[in-house]
Structure 1
Amino acid sequence: MIHQGAIASDVESLVAMAVYHNDCLAWLQQAVDSVLCQSYQSFIYLIVIDGPVSDEITAFLTDTAANDSRIVLAKNAENVGLAASMNFAIEWGMALSLNYFFRMDADDISLPERLEKQVSFLNNHEKVGVLGAALTEINEAGEKVGARIMPASHAQIVRVLPRRCSMNHPTVAFRYDVFRQGFRYDAELKNTQDYFLWIQLASEGIVFCNLKDRLLEFRRVNNFYKRRGLTKSLNEFRARLFAMRALRRLTPWNLIYACGVLTMRLMPARIVKMAYRMDRKMLEKRNKS
């Protein structure tokens, strides 16, 4: 721990974010500011610096933390990945009597009412363990380029899981009791860790929900449509097979879909872009029906 201010005794939530050497300083500043300016204020903001970062990023985080007691800075000696960094944040918060754990990425922007709306919903729906939200997709200049609205109900979310990751991972809020049951991210995974966690939690009876409100601006950069690496594409395929088995949804259609997505992921960017747009339209149509 390289910086920790006094923690209020009545703090209710933890917001966790990992920062890396290739993060854009301007986007990081926007991400941090968006959390600090939330209408809901009962939180600790744990920022995990995952390995070496630039002097500019270090200076920004150090200066910001020095001026805001809600910020706690931790640093990994080497890059260990997002899953391990989030597990560290979860474990660090276990010693505190917290109710909620929020995910945040270093290139996204949380809308001012994000935490307040999610806390309010969780306070009024005690059975929900994991709560996501819709998001707006923005480009490098901050201009809106799309949207991502996921299925709302637990039944819809679980039904879709064998075919797609039906939670927008940067928007997710957990009830801390989920982690007290022993659930964690798979630290061996360097990608798709969220997808695998949703499947595990759903198979164990944890209840999911998504708000229709767009509570986050998600950065969709120019290389978004580049063909996926073989490792990530295969991990997504493995996740879909895992979901079919764990959720008892091993059907010919789900298998065909999984094989089709694996093939598409390895195609040129223009084909991936076309498929992505078609998928978004189908998802929006399904959610409206």
Structure 2
Amino acid sequence: MSTYHNDNEQWLAQAIDSVLTQTFTDFQFLIIVDGPVPASTTSLLLTYAKQDSRIIVAQNNTNLGLAASMNQAIAWMRESDEFRYFVRMDADDICLPQRLEKQQHFFATHSKVSVLGTALTEIDEQGNKVGSRVMPASHSVIVRMLPRRCTLNHPTVMIRREVFDAGFRYDNELMNTQDYFLWIELAAAGFEFRNLRERLLEFRRVNDFYKRRGLVKSLNEFKARFSAMRKLQRYTPFNVIYACIVLLLRLMPAPVVKWAYKLDRVLLEKIGKH
């Protein structure tokens, strides 16, 4: 988990508690403080670290961004042979109690799968359910759809360390869509993906969610789609037109983006059955 100065401390505490109360208990919990944060946040994290020896708090002197922080976590993980999996979550989300147990069990019984995501429930600032995001379950559909969308919920993923032992990393130059580009690289390299249909994480969707897409993120997603077409050899008229339409929608007023987002969730529910 990476946290920075804008994170809500109440949500951060809920996120940490959700990890510490997992039914699967054999893990180390690395929290990277990405740049200066309020003294109250530092105190909160150090209090947790004193109470539970599984927590390790690391500090960046400056804000490096999520990709760089995750690469630091990967480097730390690879220093020890005991760590088998890399697990992601955000500082404002909540893991359901059996998340780690169910993902670890799936990996134990599916040795060829390298990246495993789950479905998630979307919650608002008060913790009320406002939606869901169910991704396609099978490897074939996940990869087939990559030129059109990011087909894993990044805060839910568990990744085998072998992926990183092979040299793959997040792109430090990207301040967003890092996960999308990584999935494309891994798919092109032949790694196998799956998604569990169970909603094992609550994803915080704040009020300005539809406004935060921004031009830079929209353009990065556009570039990622064409990168996927090229590297996965999936250049088709449909994929090209889809990428252009989504870019236009992303740049529309917030109410239009909100409508498109809700429609996308409905379609994902149907596709996610495969």
2:213 matches 1:241: no
Q: 1:244 to 1:227 in 2, by over 3 A?
A: same
Q: Distance in 2 between matches of 1:25 and 1:83?
A: 22
Structure-to-structure mapping, 1:201-240, within 5 angstroms: 201-226=186-211, 228-240=213-225
2:48 matches 1:48: no
Provide Cα deviations, 1:152-197, integer angstroms capped at 9, x if missing partner.
Answer: 0100100111001000000000011111001000001000000000
Correspondence for 1:9: none
Correspondence for 1:85: 69
Unaligned runs of 5+ in 2: none
TM-score for the superposition, normalised by structure 2: 0.98
Unaligned runs of 5+ in 1: 1-16
Structure-to-structure mapping, 1:1-289, within 5 angstroms: 17-97=1-81, 98-226=83-211, 228-288=213-273
Root-mean-square deviation (Å): 0.8
Q: Distance in 1 between matches of 2:159 and 2:242?
A: 29
1:228 Cα deviation after fit: 2.5
Contact 1:137 1:148 in 2 (8 A): yes
Contact 1:227 1:272 in 2 (8 A): no
Contact 2:93 2:202 in 1 (8 A): yes
Q: Distance in 2 between matches of 1:238 and 1:39?
A: 40
Correspondence for 1:12: none
Provide Cα deviations, 1:112-143, integer angstroms capped at 9, x if missing partner.
Answer: 00000000000110000000000000000000
1:250 Cα deviation after fit: 0.5
4+ residue stretches of structure 1 with deviation over 4 A? none
Q: Distance in 1 between matches of 2:87 and 2:49?
A: 19
Q: Distance in 1 between matches of 2:273 and 2:139?
A: 16
Q: Distance in 2 between matches of 1:150 and 1:115?
A: 18
Q: Distance in 1 between matches of 2:91 and 2:212?
A: 23
Q: Distance in 1 between matches of 2:149 and 2:52?
A: 39
- Number of aligned residues: 273
TM-score for the superposition, normalised by structure 1: 0.93
Contact 2:146 2:184 in 1 (8 A): yes
